[in-house]
A and B are shown apart, each in its own frame.
Chain A
Amino acid sequence: MDITVRLRCIWLAVCAASTLTIILLSGSVRAGISDNVKYKKLPNGLQALVLENHKAPVATLNVFYRVGSRNETFGETGISHLCEHLMFRGTKKYGPEEFSKIIAENGGEDNAFTSADYTDYFEIINREHLEVAFSLEADRMASFAPKGFDSEKAVVMEERRLRTEDSPQEALEEQVQAAAFTAHPYHWPVIGWMHDIQGLTLQDALKYHAIYYSPQNALVVAVGDFDAAKVMKQIEELFGALANGPKPPPVTEVEPPQQGERQVTLRHAANLPAFAEAFHAPHYRNGSDAFALEIAGEVLGDGKSSRLYKDLVIDKQMVVDVGVEYDMTSFDPSLFWIAAQMRPGVKAADVMAEVDRQLDMLGNQSAAPEELQKAKNLEEAAFVFGQDSIFREAQLLGVYQMLGDYHLVDQYLGGVDKVTAADVQRVIKRYLVKPNRTVGTLVPTGLLPHEAGGGAAGAVHHSLPPGAERILHALGSKPEPVLMPMSSIEAPR
């Protein structure tokens, strides 16, 4: 049960002194991939996508529900994520955690994560046993009856302590996000505010499930080594008879345009200063601007030859790492992020001035053709590499279908390819400008308890923190036969 964490990649990179190669999945799939997808909408409204992929004897199932923290309201933040946890705590038929136990006994792995926009439950399993996963998923859609509510709520509060409260970068990001969005529900963190989580009741969760966990609000995506027609039939048999609850209310909030720079400061237990800048940005519906921002993001921050990495990490040696993050596939317009953690003795203000200079340069001078081509090549390669995982393939198809049409997946590389140097200049000048920016600065207060400030006493919080993944690896926790660090499934429950 994780939360999609925007800057996860950069902080992961920061914490790994040894270089972990992180391939950013930039939301693209090869031209023509959707041609082989079978799509069906069942009479009860449930949508299904099925794709054969025979490279390994494995299948993956994703059940997406169109519900995330975006659907919440003030005072009950975190209910989507808590509901996700409770989905593992039993149904009328099964006891708590029996779901995961049955999947494991069938040689499979399961988990789920919640984002601002949607919740994704998934299983990766020996293809022989895919039907087990289908029937368990159908069961918990229809007969949700969680046991042990209080202890699961306590677990979620521990999760918040782990992810946010004891993690300076996550805590900073949360503050910036909250300042950048004032009216839209992207204001609050996916995990919710601590006090809100504490106040949630089993009744709240049951009510929430009844509204959002019904066939009309669900999308089933199966990819793997199977016969697609047969699998589609299984989906129809297992999900086709499920009844709908009330229709989920639409999300109607619109974030008003930002009229000037906003600044937040966070004092937190830390060694090094850090900052995170967030600019309001368009999403997929404004295609040409969104694609140009994807390319701007590549030029600025993807790879060791990118402008910000080369300038700040290699040439000037001012930062531990710098990250740029933009995802055009959010349901509502979201943010373009630039964040960095300073080297000891470097002032955040000096690095922010350098970032400003780089943005000015990219806005005022046309990027060289080779640089633009490099950005597009990086996107193309990441696209192909992404297909090496059937899990990622399923995820991409699911996300695009929730945005309206899985065929969009095939338009991504084409859209990126059309971007010109003038487009990049235009979007830099339009979006990556001060009046549209929220700046968060982390003021480190030291790591010891007697030192002032810090520690966000009772503050909030992310799934396995970047550190933990690494620690577990260092200790060799990965089961057979994995040896080297692998970008594993993000967001364990």
Chain B
Amino acid sequence: MRRRLEKAARAVLAAISIVVLSVSASHALEIKRSKLGNGAVLLVSEQHQLPMVSIAIAFDAGSRRDPAGKEGLAELTAASLEQGTKQLNVAEFNQKIDFMGSSISISADRDYVYASMTSLKKYENNTLHLLAQSLEGPGLRDSDIVRKRGDQVAAIKASEEEPGYTAMVAFAKLLFGNGPYGHPTEGFADTVAKLTPDDVRNFYHRFYRTGGAVIAVAGDVNLGTIRPRIEQELARLAGTVPAQAEPAAPRVAPGIHADLVDRNVVQANMILGCGGIARSNPDYYKVQVMNYILGGGGFSSRLMKEVRSRAGLAYSIDSVFSAGKFPGAFAVVLQTKNQSAQEALKLIIAQMQNIQNQPVSDSELASARKYLIGSFPLRLDRQSQIVSFMLQVELYGLGLDYAERYPKLIGGVTKLDVQETAQKYLRPDALDLVAVANQSVAKINTAALSPPATARR
């Protein structure tokens, strides 16, 4: 009997690829990858320094799956799964989690749903069981779904008080329209209010499938014990989810397309940008370096230097390329007092043109590479970060040797690459702008901002 088990264990181990990522000369992040019987990929990184465990499961059930008119459904489904199981009502469920000091969270972003837990080692099994039960045997009672629907509508109303939130929602709508990224994860107050318990149950049955799911575990665990436990706890969600076609790219038309939202605020909250790239785009690393220099690099970036340090126009300004499963946005995000909105926008557009027209300096390029490569280990410090890293590597097909390849991917970017990338992906001549501001004070004149159309690669 015993021998047979050992043999089985060996067979399992044979199917697990073990990759050691060297994070630095003395530290290595060991990740063990295997495929489970339910179709999911399991990634485990044993971290024995603290008696705690972090687990996250990614399902292909993010808000890009929301049907038209049912925006917010992915998020409501995720939230409803946290409301108890077939055996436990919501009060009993919450009581059990809190008593262990554990946390369980199921929530959507635009691409995926993440079901995650953190617990002390001594409560690992009990917490995992509750998490698995909420995925495999959720209560999904009408009363709980209706209550969560009310929570979601109220939370949207509350968020709308934040000018920055309002700007983000308007910008996504302006850029992506009715596409999968055109609405916030939590949906709109009016679409959420119309969702029914059946909508939620249908979405759950359709998209919570372990085929294509990724499970990442970091913490004080053993592969030998955690793997069979997960296999056993999550055996009933097998099956796959239909693929989703990539949406058409956002339209590009010369000029500045603005949504000027009038609000009783002292600052103009602005987002200026255009279509961006998907995570799978081979130019991703060139874009990282270019954007670091332009506006992603904090105090090392040009936008921060010009708009904050030199002109004193903003407390926070940065630029991002949000690369997802599908092409996301390029966006510059800032807040400035209403009166200086136009001036700040001019400075930003000038910087976009500048990085297209002139090569960056040697020292800027060197700084960007050094930071991006050198800071890599900083983001693998905590368990939650290691879990995130593993999920990203698997979901976006980066390969288990990603950490090793990363310095080369970044280090190979040249000045010419930066300039060409800026020319290819920045559109100072065709931008979307959202400004949530007191418009009578801000007096934004988009016509005066539009630079002449430039020749494009």
Are B47 and A97 in contact (CB-based, < 8 A)? no
- Point out the residues of chain A lying under 8 angstroms from B320, CB to CB: 472, 475-477
- A126 touches which of B24, B314, B384 (Cβ 8 Å): B24
**A303 proximal to B (CB < 8 A):** yes
Nearest B residue (CB) for A88? B299
Are B316 and A468 in contact (CB-based, < 8 A)? yes
Given contacts A101-B300, A161-B337, A476-B321, contact A14 B158 (CB under 8 A): yes
Are B372 and A479 in contact (CB-based, < 8 A)? yes
**A486–B100 alpha-carbon span in the complex (Å):** 22
Are B102 and A449 in contact (CB-based, < 8 A)? no
Given contacts A373-B99, A472-B320, A480-B406, contact A21 B370 (CB under 8 A): no
Given contacts A19-B105, A475-B333, contact A269 B263 (CB under 8 A): yes
- Point out the residues of chain B lying under 8 angstroms from A104, CB to CB: 297-300, 367, 370-371, 375
Are A18 and B108 in contact (CB-based, < 8 A)? yes
B-contacting 9-mer, from A71-79, A233-241, A283-291, A451-459: A451-459
- A467 touches which of B106, B119, B159, B387 (Cβ 8 Å): B159
Are B151 and A455 in contact (CB-based, < 8 A)? no
**B311 proximal to A (CB < 8 A):** yes
Q: Mark B369-407, 1 if CB is under 8 A from A, else 0.
A: 011111111111111110111011101000000100010
**A54–B267 alpha-carbon span in the complex (Å):** 45
**A27 proximal to B (CB < 8 A):** no
- Point out the residues of chain B lying under 8 angstroms from A305, CB to CB: 91, 94-95, 97-99
Are A57 and B26 in contact (CB-based, < 8 A)? yes
Are A15 and B165 in contact (CB-based, < 8 A)? yes
**A256–B300 alpha-carbon span in the complex (Å):** 48
Given contacts A56-B23, A88-B299, contact A272 B378 (CB under 8 A): no
- B322 touches which of A14, A304, A476 (Cβ 8 Å): A476
Given contacts A109-B378, A483-B395, 10 further A-B contacts (CB under 8 A): A14-B155, A18-B79, A18-B107, A21-B116, A23-B103, A155-B312, A269-B161, A320-B158, A451-B264, A459-B266
Residues of A that sit less than 8 Å from B by CB? 14-21, 23, 54-58, 88, 96-97, 100-101, 104-109, 124-126, 129, 148, 150-159, 161-162, 165-168, 225, 269-272, 302-306, 310, 313-314, 317, 320, 341, 343-344, 370, 373-374, 377-382, 384-385, 387-390, 445-449, 451, 454-459, 464-468, 470-472, 474-477, 479-484, 486, 492
- Point out the residues of chain A lying under 8 angstroms from B75, CB to CB: 17-18
Nearest A residue (CB) for B159? A15
Are A151 and B310 in contact (CB-based, < 8 A)? yes
> Taking the nearest CB of chain A, how far is it from the CB of B227, in angstroms?
23
Are B155 and A56 in contact (CB-based, < 8 A)? no
Are B406 and A158 in contact (CB-based, < 8 A)? no
**A18–B75 alpha-carbon span in the complex (Å):** 7
**B361 proximal to A (CB < 8 A):** no
- Point out the residues of chain A lying under 8 angstroms from B387, CB to CB: 484
Nearest A residue (CB) for B323? A476
Are B312 and A153 in contact (CB-based, < 8 A)? yes
Q: Mark B96-124, 1 if CB is under 8 A from A, else 0.
A: 01111111011111100010101110000
- Point out the residues of chain B lying under 8 angstroms from A19, CB to CB: 79, 82, 105-107
**A428–B361 alpha-carbon span in the complex (Å):** 63
Are A481 and B388 in contact (CB-based, < 8 A)? yes
Given contacts A96-B309, A475-B329, contact A310 B381 (CB under 8 A): no
Nearest B residue (CB) for A96? B309
Nearest A residue (CB) for B106? A19
Are A100 and B300 in contact (CB-based, < 8 A)? yes
Given contacts A18-B75, A482-B388, contact A474 B184 (CB under 8 A): yes
> Taking the nearest CB of chain B, how far is it from the CB of A156, in angstroms?
8
> Taking the nearest CB of chain B, how far is it from the CB of A157, in angstroms?
8
Are A483 and B391 in contact (CB-based, < 8 A)? yes
**A472–B269 alpha-carbon span in the complex (Å):** 13
**A166–B263 alpha-carbon span in the complex (Å):** 10
What are 24 contact pairs spanning A and B, CB under 8 A? Answer: A17-B155, A17-B159, A56-B377, A100-B300, A104-B297, A105-B374, A107-B375, A108-B375, A148-B312, A313-B151, A370-B99, A373-B99, A377-B100, A447-B160, A455-B438, A456-B266, A459-B266, A471-B167, A471-B168, A474-B185, A477-B322, A479-B296, A484-B388, A486-B388
